Every structure is written in C-alpha cells, then in structure tokens.
Structure 1
Amino acid sequence: MDNDIAAVYSARGVTGVRPRYSMALIRLHHLGPMTVRALAGEVGVTHSAMSQTVTEMKREGLISSAPGADARTREVSLTSKGEDLVPFLEAEWRATEAAFDDLDSELPYSFQQVVKDMADALQRRSFRERIVQHLDSGQEE
C-alpha cells in the first residue's frame, strides 16, 4: 500500500515525501513545533523511528530543528516547503481512508475486525512467545 501511495505522490508531482512523513507533517501543522519525543507520541511510533524520520524530512527541507528546552532535546517545526504540502497530504490521507473503506467493504470479513482479533490473541500470548514455542519444538525434532 505504501508503494501505491508513493506512486500517487509521484503522479501528483510531490517529491521528497514518503508516506511515513504524512502524519508527522500534518501533526506539526496543527499542533506547532514540538520535540522529537512528543512528535513520536503524536504519530504513535518509537522515539528512534521518529528520529530517523526527522533526519530524512530535514534532509528533504520539510522541517527544521533547533535546540529544545534542554540540551538533550530537539524541537522540530515545519518549513514553508513542508507547510505547503499539508493540504495535499490531508486530502491524500482522507482519500486513502476512503479507499481502505472501499477495500474493506469488498472483503468477506472486516479487516478492522481481523486486526482487533489479532490484537486480542496477542494479548493472550505474545508473538515472541509464539516464535519461541516453535523454535523450541523445532529443536526437539
């Protein structure tokens, strides 16, 4: 799906933007400058993942960064280039959600229900535990 979203970006002349940047740029637009940690929380990814994304977005000229409230933090904000992309990214986000709903309606079961059922199953027994069980049973053969 990410490749198809990236293809839409390319077809619309949007360069230097990857699908994983979208929510971060949209959040910065609506909430203003924030630390990398706060942005990671807003987007729902790890601090490490957001640090990598911030580095990439900065390289593309979409954001800028400055020292935060203390020497250990960096605060990121949109550049004018990043700001200019937000209306398109918001429209694409809404179109992607609508396309997902279309796809979901064609399935004989709800993908959202599958995700919920998987999350419930993983609460009962983690994926790590499942891997270890199969590793251990494979070593006994």
Structure 2
Amino acid sequence: MIAIILAIGACGALSWLALRPPVAIFLAPGAAEIQVANLRLGEQYISYRCPGPPYAWYWDTIRMIEAQQWKRQTSLGRPDLAGTSYNPVIPLRFERVSLGFLVEEAVVEPDRTDPSLARIHVYRRIVIPWQQFPWHL
C-alpha cells in the first residue's frame, strides 16, 4: 500500500516538474520579441524586450511576480547614500513552495548593457525534508 502511494506521489511530482508556470506572470506590459526556452526538466529561460524608460520592465515584473504570491529571497538592499555607484537594479530571486516540497524559483536578471532586455530563469525542483521523517522508532 505504501509503495502504491509513493508511486502515485512520484508520478504527480514528476508531472508537476514537467509542467511550466504560465509565462504571462513574468512578462511586463508591452513585452515584445518574447523567447521561451525549456533548457532541461525543471528549468526554463524567458527573455523579452520592453520599450519605455530603462528597466521599467524590471519593476513591473517584480510587482507581478509578488502579486502571484512568490516570496522575494533577495533583498533590494539599502542604498549607500554617500556613494555614487549604488544601482538598485540587481538580480532578484523569488521562490514559491507548494505542498511543502514542490519548489519554484524565479531569478530576474537585468542586463546592464541593455536596459530594455528582460532575462528570467525559472527553476522547479522537489525538495524532500528528510529531517521530518521519524527514521528511528
């Protein structure tokens, strides 16, 4: 009985890994030249261009990801008000966990040489919290 439950769970988890989150939640309004590449099981690369002010897509994308209940894992930091080299546009990592072990991660990576280019990596993985299982009775 336990083997059947584990087999069904494994099939469900692998199906979840094979499916991709909707690309639309990572696209800023006005996105053009959209490219989506499935690099391998559980990894997707999204890139697009967005017209408007430099890095406008960055802030719009962050708001849209957070509205979908993804948690920011990277702090925006605190600007060094005395320095002139502070740049608030940095790679940001977001994470969403389902059922306690199905993890989705999105990394928003701005391109410093092309502020209209959006690059986002999406990863999906299964994390088994072994320490929660009573291995010894």
Compute the TM-score of the two structures, normalised by the length of structure 2: 0.24
| Structure having the higher Rg | 1
The structure with the greater share of residues assigned to strand is 2
The structure with the greater share of residues assigned to helix is 1
Compute the TM-score of the two structures, normalised by the length of structure 1: 0.24
Q: Which has the higher contact order (CA 8 A, sep 6+)?
A: 2
